[in-house]
Structure 1
Amino acid sequence: MAIDRWRLAAFTAPAFPIAAAGLPLTVHLPPYYAGTLGLNLALVGLIFVAVRIIDLPFDLLFGQMLDRARWRWGRFRPWFVIGAVLMTAFTAFVFMARPGISPLGAFGGLLGLYIGMSLFLLTHLAWAATLTDVYHDRSRIFGWIQAATVLGLLVVLALPPLTARLLHTTAPAAGIHAMGVFLILTSALSTILVLATTPERAMPPPPSAPVHSDFARVLVNALMRRLLLADLLAGLATGVLAAMFIFVFEHRLRFDAATASALLLPYFLAGLVAAPLWMKLAYRIGKHRTAGVAGVLFCITATVIAFLPPGNVMVAIPVLALAGMPFTAFPFLMRAMLADVLDVERRDSGRDCTGLFSATLVMTTKIAHALPVGLVYPLLALIGFQAAPGAINSDAAIAGLVALFVALPLLLMAAAVWVVWRWPLDQAAHAAVVAELALSVDPVRS
């Protein structure tokens, strides 16, 4: 089913608030809860880590619900609305919290928000995987979703300084409240857009096999195992780079904190601009080869960043723009490739595992985002690196920082490229799978 650009824009709109919510949950809210709202610093850290850990199994639960539950209103629509309502309600609670909030209240609000976001995100991605069975159209759909994701990051990055300028205040609460209002409005509007413009395809019958056999399919499917490994490795490479980015720019390249943060703008902007270029390349050489090209570019630019001339903004900007180009490629290509894997699974097992397989990929991505700090920070401490702003580090500590910044992401991304480069499910192979499904009774396409 071909999708025109206006309907595609409407369908991809939820990626905007989902991405915009993720950044403040990691960057802005922890110091806000510990500072302005007055909660104990160590307790805040414990709450935010605990919520992220507890949230992980919910992805698998929601994936099972998407595959097994049947509603008269559709397979995805009811869960999509429930996720949107939960996300909107708990966004108001978390972002509009006042001083005096209890630790239990903060924990409950954050857990509710993460659960709502997980259901909203998973339903959106699973629904996207069923919109078409055309190999290249999937690159287009998930490329648009990734572009909306980056745009959401850019807008939410700009909200705190913009709010401070408009309201003539430096109070952190103003920026946090502005982000909350923005998330509530965009979540509600994007949900309405999707419901009004995107019909669902025919629902497959619910699986009759026991639940545990569904989980076994994730492990049995060789393509799925390879996809999850590639996504994990690429996510870890990006996460490790992000975990050390500020350290390298402050202590090795000698930029102040404000300049280092501002230099993320050309990085994200380039990722947004590059998204359609990666889509076009995927049309020419296939999704897996395009992911490999993006991975190689990531390795080259990550290495160049570490050896930029200290304090030179004019050199840093174009290099960071080039480094930001592969930022969007791997995530959307992995999701588009997952949609192809789901066709193979339907052919081989006769099951529709869209929800569970999508949930597993979402969970792998979350793990890749959560691990880098725990992996990198102990290594930095081991080499004697001092992370405090203005700290004096020895030449050996700086050299160790640069070595980790270059070697870890390069090795991880090179491994991801190796995993996807020999991916067997190219356009021709996928066309054969679709043809076989057309000859069988495939309820998803009937």
Structure 2
Amino acid sequence: MTEMNTARSLLYAGPAVVLSMMTFALVVYIPAFYATETGLSLAAVGAAFFAARLWDAFIDPFIGYYADKTHSRWGRRKPWITLGVPLLLLTAWWLFVPGSEGGKSITYLLVSIFLFYVLWTGVQIPYLSLGAELSSDYAERSRIVGFRESAMFVGTILATGVPALVFTSGNPSIGQILELFFQMSLIILPVTALLLLWKVPEPKQIDSHVPSMKETLAALRRNRAFLRLNIAAFLLWLGLHIYNAGVLLVIQHQLKLPTSIFLQLVLIQFAVGLVMNPLLIKLANRWGKHKALGLAAVLVSLSLPLLAMMPPADKTSAMLVFALLGITISPIWVLPTALVADAVDIGRFKGGGDQSGMYMAIYNLMVKFALALSVGIALPLMQWFGFNPETGAGNGALVAVTLLLPAAAFLPAAWLLFTYPLDQRRLGVVQRWLARSAHRSEIKA
């Protein structure tokens, strides 16, 4: 395994800054841009993004599988990052800055978003897999993921803060903000990717056996710890995205604050999360990553209802609650992929290959499925129970769905995590067995 000092961990984390900015743009700005500033209908834009989400979920396992099968003198992950980054930037240009004519065509949007997701996944899965493989140490894995997720928080902070600094006069269009995002990505992503490729050595492949797709899926089914982790992760992200689907409406109708304050609150949440990440990693390694994540699920369930207790139009109280959410929600962003890395070793112990790419792909698939399902649950339930976003009537339904319903997902996830079977001691036993097995194989060879 690669010796991961602080400098190498920082260099590995660098590309996550832009990946986070692009994620923010995809969620917050791009659908609104194509629906309001290009002349396309809301129905057409909604259908295009729904189809793109299905496509994105479909290609994840294939990217993970073929990334695991890659063999080159530069390793398995770096070739994907090397080829993927320039192509990702090209498709980001098409999607973020479509031009006056291209953006008016639904065909242009469909082709751009489909290509973007292919390149996005082609970079993201190998990048996450590389992070899982940089160390076999239980605590070191948490530290590496902590650096990467801190970089993700920095990306979100830049996405919310830089437009406010650049567009100091006037109200910028969404298209102008997206063009700024692309310009920032064009500078930051190539530099950070080159530093990673140059200074962070890719570990030698642990297992030369490359299972077939059938063998891979069979090995995943045998890995009960990984299956349990995926159920817990799905529930965590389902609860979090149900909250995300309604939080802007809560700010507007329950807190009686202007919609423009939303980005300030997001900035506070992620800034606090960034500051607290080092302490989070220390506590997770001391208590166990699974227990720290389970505790976070319980604390988020207790934190969200505080937004319903805030006095109307009280900006300071809202900021304090979002600062608290920065502490309680951060573990959901940081810890799951470190646990996935541990589950890969269990998969090897149960007869699977060195399949970090496939494991990360399956985890990503669960996250995306939770995102798609959350919107399908949250918005119809609000309407069913009587919330009307045009008049603000039925705030009780808005509060119940956005702030209370997530607990129905968080609390079962907490139980699954508190009873998760893979802790630091058991992982150490498995890794020592794997090391002895590898040593015997080398002697026979």
TM-score in terms of structure 2 length: 0.94
Secondary structure of the corresponding residue to residue 200 of structure 1:
coil
2:142 corresponds to? 139
* Paired residue secondary structure (1:165): coil
CA–CA distance in 2 between the matches of 1:122 and 1:442?
Answer: 29
* Contact preservation (8 Å) 2:219, 2:350: no
Aligned to 1:77: 78
1:17 alignment counterpart = 18
Shift of 1:319: 1.7
Correspondence 1:46-445 to 2 at 5 A:
46-101=47-102, 102-165=105-168, 170-204=172-206, 206-207=208-209, 209-388=211-390, 391-393=391-393, 397-441=394-438
For residues 235 and 345 of structure 2, what CA distance do their matches in structure 1 show? Answer: 24
Instruction: Give how far 1:444 is off.
Output: 12
Tell me the CA shift for residue 206 of structure 1: 5.0
Is the CA contact (8 Å cut-off) linking 1:68 and 1:207 kept in structure 2?
A: no
Q: Distance in 2 between matches of 1:39 and 1:406?
A: 33
- In structure 1, distance between residues paired with 2:352 and 2:271: 42
Summarize the Cα distance change of 1:415–1:242 in structure 2 as closer, same or farther, 3 Å threshold: same
State the one-letter code of the partner of 1:248. Answer: V
Distance 2:396 2:288 in 1: 39
> Secondary structure of the residue that 1:440 maps to in structure 2?
helix
Contact 2:20/2:152 (8 A) holds in 1 = yes
User: Structure 1 residues 106, 247: closer, same or farther in 2, change over 3 A?
Assistant: same
* Per-residue deviation, 1:208: 5.2
What is the distance in 2 between the residues matched to 1:15 and 1:442? 35
CA 1:72–1:292: 2 relative to 1, 3 Å: same
**CA displacement 1:186-228 (0-9 Å, x = unmatched):** 2211210110111111124554543222122222210111010
Could you tell me how far 1:356 is from its partner in structure 2? 0.8
Alpha carbons 1:33, 1:44 under 8 Å: kept: yes
Q: Given that residues 203 and 444 in structure 1 are in contact (C-alpha distance below 8 angstroms), is that contact kept between their aligned partners in structure 2? A: no
For residues 350 and 315 of structure 1, the distance between their equivalents in structure 2, rounded to whole angstroms, comes to 51
Distance between the aligned counterparts of 1:253 and 1:272, measured in 2? 26
Structure 1: distance between partners of 2:376 and 2:72: 41
* Long gaps (5+) in structure 2: none
- Report the 3-state secondary structure (helix = DSSP H, G, I; strand = E; otherwise coil) of the residue aligned with 2:167: helix
Distance 1:276 1:443, change over 3 A: farther
Contact 1:63 1:355 in 2 (8 A): yes
Give CA deviations for 1:310-342 in whole Å, capped at 9, x if unaligned. Answer: 111122211210112122212321111111111
Q: Following TM superposition, by how much is the alpha carbon of 1:279 offset from its aligned partner in structure 2, in angstroms?
A: 0.2
> Aligned pair in 2 of structure 1 residues 192, 158: CA closer, same or farther (>3 Å)?
same
The change in CA–CA distance for 1:8 and 1:442 in structure 2 (over 3 A counts) is farther
SS at match of 1:27: helix
SS of corresponding position for 2:218: helix
Give the C-alpha shift of residue 443 in structure 1. 11
Report the Cα distance in structure 2 between the residues aligned to 1:444 and 1:9, rounded to whole angstroms. Answer: 35
Structure 1-normalised TM-score?
0.94
List gaps (5 residues or longer) in structure 1.
none
Cα distance in 2, alignment partners of residues 363 and 185 from structure 1:
30
Counterpart secondary structure, 1:263: helix
- CA shift in 2, pair 1:312/1:208, >3 Å: closer
Please tell me whether the aligned partners of residues 202 and 444 of structure 1 are also in contact (alpha carbons under 8 angstroms): no
Deviations 1:391-430 (A, max 9, x none): 241xxx2122222223311121111111110112111111
Q: CA deviation at 1:86?
A: 2.1
Measured in 2, the distance between the counterparts of 1:200 and 1:442 equals 21
Quote the sequence identity (%). 28
Distance (Å, rounded) in 2 between the aligned partners of 1:133 and 1:116: 28
Is this contact kept in 2: 1:20–1:152, CA < 8 A?
yes
Aligned mates of 2:101, 2:120 — CA distance in 1: 25
- What count of residue pairs does the alignment treat as equivalent? 440
In the TM superposition, what whole-angstrom CA distance separates every residue of 1:366-401 from its partner, at most 9, and x where no partner exists?
A: 22222211111111111121123xx241xxx21222
Equivalents in 1 of 2:194, 2:324: separation in Å?
36
Distance between the aligned counterparts of 2:423 and 2:375, measured in 1? 35
1:291-318: CA deviation from partner (whole Å, max 9, x where unpaired): 1221122111112122111111122211
- C-alpha contact (below 8 Å) 1:91/1:183 kept by paired residues: no
Rate the CA distance shift 1:44–1:130 in 2: closer, same or farther, 3 A: same
CA distance in 2, matches of 1:174, 1:406: 33
Please give the alpha-carbon distance, in whole angstroms, between the structure 1 residues aligned to 2:20 and 2:210.
36
Provide the aligned C-alpha RMSD in A: 2.0
Deviation by residue 1:60-116 (Cα, 9 ceiling, x = unmatched): 001111222212221111111222122111111111211221211111111111111
- Residues 1:310 and 1:195: Cα distance change in structure 2 (over 3 Å): same
